[in-house]
Amino acid sequence: MGLGVTLITFVPATLIKSADVNSNFATLNSATAFNGGVATMNFEAGKVTSDGSGNIHLANGQIGATLAGDILDASGATDLYLKASSASGSISFLVNSILTMTINTTGLVMNQGGIVFTAGTTTTSTTSTRGKRTSTTTSTAAGSLSRTSQFSGTVTGTYNHGNNGIPNICYSHCSTSNFSGNSFDSPTRTTVHIFVENSPFICYCLGF
């Protein structure tokens, strides 16, 4: 039967004992796997089906633990929603059992390093000031962006940058106007020295 169990067989014209019948039912009820030759599945009034090739189709496109669609929801015409179980939860991605990326309400966390860029080009459409459509090509170089942080200040001095490493770039500009011109030196794993020419300022730190 594909259930992997052994049943008592009955021979024609012989007495069938109720104990044997009950034993067979008990054995069937204890079966833990089915390896039979059913070509496809069709249940829940046709809302859950299979195609015989290992693919399962959900008519409403939802998978849930407590409610329909509280884990995965593809019931819309175009969008797919992958959901955490609570507002304080997160969605985690593992590669070879290693946590590599986490998404929660605070944003995207790269758990094993930064974002890796591959060399190539991306073409996007932009609108000029005269309303004409133009094509803009952006080139990316192979590399990575591992750490980002920011801080603010008002005077020349040494600041904690919060970059969790020695930043490669600290870009500082005036936070109340378009003036730039502030420069930096002496970055360490925790601090950087900012020369302030335009104040107040905000500084963005990048680590590659």
Assign 3-state DSSP to the chain and report helix, strand, coil percentages, each to 5: 5, 40, 55
Over 80: is that where the pLDDT of 43 sits?
A: yes
Say which residues have a Cβ less than 8 Å from residue 131's Cβ, sequence separation at least 6: none
H helical segments located in the chain:
18-29
pLDDT of residue 145: 79
For residues 140-145, give the mean pLDDT. Answer: 68
pLDDT at 196 over 80: yes
Burial class from Cβ neighbours inside 10 Å (0-12, 13-18, 19+) for residue 163 reads buried
Tell me the pLDDT tens digit for each residue of 89-133.
Answer: 899 999 999 998 999 888 888 887 667 666 665 555 444 444 444
> What's the rounded mean pLDDT across residues 134-156?
74
Q: Of 201, 95, 86, 94, which Cα lies nearest the Cα of 154?
A: 201
Mean pLDDT of 34-38: 70
Per-residue pLDDT band at 54 (split at 50, 70, 90) = confident
Q: What single letter denotes the amino acid at residue 18?
A: S
- 152-180 pLDDT, tens per residue? 999 999 999 999 889 999 988 888 876 66
For residue 91, the cross-strand partners are 103
Main-chain dihedrals φ then ψ at residue 122, nearest 5 degrees: -130, 125
Q: Tell me which of 3 and 66 has the higher pLDDT.
A: 66
